[in-house]
Amino acid sequence: MTANRAILDVAVLAELVRSAQPPTLLDVRWTLAKDGRAAYTAGHLPGAVFADLDVDLCGQPGAGGRHPLPDPAELEAALRRLGVRAGHPVVVYDAGGSNPTGAAARAWWTLRWAGVDDVRVLDGGYAAWVAAGLPVTTEEPVPAAGDVIVTPGHMPVWTEVEAADPRNTLIDARVAARFRGDAEPVDPVAGHIPGAVNVPAARTVTPEGLLKPLGISGDRIGAYCGSGVTAAQIVLALYAEGLDPALYVGSWSHWITDPARAVATGESS
């Protein structure tokens, strides 16, 4: 599959979908507020299967945060049910747009972490596909069972230890109000990890929702957000630029489980 190391253009995917061996397509539209399956049912890319970010691609919420790493065996079973095959390309997409949720990026990251090498994010997501006048469908395919083997550990993961290390560059992907601690609509504690730099995920895309460079450099970079989903959008953008950033999967929802961990507020630490 010829493409950027992380993303795939709509026009390229349109050709691949029509080919004799189309990639496995996963629709991972998701928000905190509503179930993405309704959007999938209303219309999706031909051949796409709905992947539930919460159920299929993450572990159970708890001490590890709201979207922790999945159990490898459970992830393998889910990916096989979704039709993911060993050595066969996968393309993931979400709603797209100028305010990314990070759902497709987290799906991409999870598959890469699990050892699936040939996986891309559709640049611009569902919105870009529709804007290009390409067909959508309400037909829900039943994929043949996949045979992928999950081998975890292929993407850099940070814990609270690396997140707190002042030698590292820690990026907070949440909106500025949550970073400053002005408002916290999801987690019980407001603020940010001391030393973090606020780069909201919306900065990773153009007004049309296409991925753009962040212009951040370094070899000790990691990202976090509320629960490790939106932060994956930062990881995706930096990875596409040739960097190898880490994801603090537990993110803020894990950081605040220990009251001894420091909390900063305001524009900076």
Q: Which residues are catalytic?
A: 225
Contacts by residues 47-52 (CB-CB < 8 Å, ≥ 24 positions apart): 47/17, 47/22, 47/141, 48/93, 48/141, 49/24, 49/25, 49/82, 49/83, 49/140, 49/141, 49/143, 50/26, 50/140, 51/26, 51/27, 51/78, 51/82, 51/92, 51/107
Dihedral sign from CA coordinates of 93, 23, 234, 216: negative
Lookup result for tokens 């949440």: 174
- Residues forming beta bridges with residue 246, ordered by sequence position: 222
Distance between CA 97 and CA 149 in Å, rounded?
33
Q: Calculate Rg over the CA atoms of the chain.
A: 18
User: Closest Cα to residue 242, out of 1, 5, 3?
Assistant: 5
Burial of residue 2 (number of CB atoms within 10 Å: 0-12, 13-18, 19+): exposed
Question: Using an 8 Å Cβ cutoff, are 204 and 233 in contact?
Answer: yes
